Amino acid sequence: MTRRPAFWLWAVACPLGAWIAFRGIGAQVAAFPVGAVIGGILLVPALVLGIWLLRRAHPVRSHPLGYAMMTVAWGGLAAFGMALPANSAFQAVLGKTTGPEFNSAWGAAIAAPVDEEILKLLGVLTLALMAPAAVRGPLDGWGYGALAGLGFQFAENFLYVLNTIVLTGATQDANAAFFSFGSRVVGGAWWSHWAMTAVGGAGLGCLLGRTSRTARAIAAAAFVLAMALHSWWDAPVLPGVLLLPVKGAPILLAAIVAYRLARRRYLAHFRRTVRAETAKGVLVPGEGHVLSFRKWRRKERWDVPAGEPRRLLARMRADQLALIEDGLGGLEPDPLAADRLRADIQILRHRLHASEGNPRVA
């Protein structure tokens, strides 16, 4: 991975974004240390929970933690930091061309969807360029898009903690931090940046998985929809806390529909490939059911003696899942990968069956 230019783009963009963000909010953090610390203490567990939930959203196996953390870091550091000057510049142009009143009311709804959705989706694209096998279709794009949006959401929520302290007169730092957490996380996390970028990520994943005219159209439509949802959220319509669920419902619904469509596509490919590989003798009957569920794979591991047999089983299951997902496509498809994986699976199966005291594995 480190030999790829995209890795060094990620390695430079994240610290650069963090530096830009610190220049923008560092003075506020220094001025209100208590509120900043309380805000961080409240937000970090929510971020950890969000990462766990979004990784588990994959129906068969969780996205690798390393890839997930790299995508979250892009959203929370690179995308967020670069969005600050980008939004300011965009709104400065709007202020000069449309007037300060229009910019005050609609500037965020016009500038933020363009700047922020592009910057967040660049995190998914950068990951795909670093690790082409990471994004093989709309389900991967949805997951990593949601994680990039979650990172951005965490950083923005921290900024709002600081802004709330200022808006409340800078006299009740702790109360302002709790209020901001309640409104931004408890009340608004269900339909925030993760959901918007998940929709755009699903479209981008479709394009990265298999380039075609249809995939290009889906990717473009998903990106436009993500920006439209973002604009709807920032628009000065349906104001008030009580109307937040009404305003956020279309965003959450779009993310759920995109997930369901991507999940159905993935599972259809999974079942189709399992049948084909079973007919070829690469998989044995019943093995596809074990591969489909985390709980069965976990139970199976405990039924195998610890040590070499368990390691062989884990390697074989990993290769089988890689074989099934190989047909989804990707940026750099390897025409020899499937045959190589089939050969490895057969070798691992023979070694597993030959292990002392190991029962025959399905």
Quick one: 167 and 300 in the same domain?
A: no
* 274 lies in some domain: no
Other Cβ atoms within 10 Å of 166 Cβ, number: 13
The pLDDT assigned to 83 comes to 95
Quick one: 177 and 246 in the same domain?
A: yes
* 309 lies in some domain: yes
Quick one: 169 and 117 in the same domain?
A: yes
Quick one: 199 and 337 in the same domain?
A: no
Stated length of the chain? 362
Quick one: 72 and 205 in the same domain?
A: yes
56 vs 181: CA distance, rounded Å: 24
DSSP class of residue 242 equals G
Tell me which residue has tokens 């949006």. 149
The pLDDT assigned to 283 comes to 93
CB 74 within 8 A of CB 151: yes
The pLDDT assigned to 362 comes to 52
Tens of pLDDT along the chain (362 residues)? 788 999 999 999 999 999 999 998 888 888 888 888 999 999 999 999 999 999 999 999 999 999 999 999 999 999 999 999 999 999 999 999 999 899 988 999 999 999 999 999 999 999 999 999 899 999 999 999 999 999 999 999 999 888 888 887 777 778 888 888 888 888 788 889 999 999 999 999 999 988 889 999 999 999 999 999 999 999 988 877 778 888 899 999 999 999 999 999 999 999 999 999 999 999 999 898 899 998 888 888 888 888 888 899 999 999 999 999 998 888 888 889 999 999 999 999 999 888 755 444 55
114 vs 112: CA distance, rounded Å: 5
Secondary-structure breakdown of the chain: helix, strand, coil percentages, each rounded to the nearest 5: 80, 0, 20
Q: Give the structural domain span for 333.
A: 280-354
Tell me which residue has tokens 């399905």. 362
* 330 lies in some domain: yes
CB 328 within 8 A of CB 269: yes
Domain end point (choices 217, 238, 268): 268
Q: How far is the CA of 294 from the CAs of 49, 204, 322, in angstroms?
A: 19, 27, 15
* 189 lies in some domain: yes
* 362 lies in some domain: no
The pLDDT assigned to 328 comes to 87
* 130 lies in some domain: yes
* 359 lies in some domain: no
Rounded to 5 degrees, what angle do the CA atoms 254, 198, 337 make?
A: 125
Quick one: 203 and 90 in the same domain?
A: yes
Quick one: 307 and 213 in the same domain?
A: no
Quick one: 164 and 67 in the same domain?
A: yes
357 vs 342: CA distance, rounded Å: 25
Domain end point (choices 247, 268, 289): 268
69 vs 296: CA distance, rounded Å: 27
CB 309 within 8 A of CB 302: no
Other Cβ atoms within 10 Å of 212 Cβ, number: 11
DSSP class of residue 305 equals -
Quick one: 93 and 160 in the same domain?
A: yes
Domain end point (choices 217, 235, 268): 268
Quick one: 9 and 113 in the same domain?
A: yes
* 166 lies in some domain: yes
Domain count, the chain: 2
Quick one: 157 and 98 in the same domain?
A: yes
350 vs 334: CA distance, rounded Å: 26
Model confidence pLDDT, tens digit, residues 135-189: 999 999 999 999 999 999 999 999 988 888 888 777 777 888 888 888 888 878 8
Quick one: 34 and 125 in the same domain?
A: yes
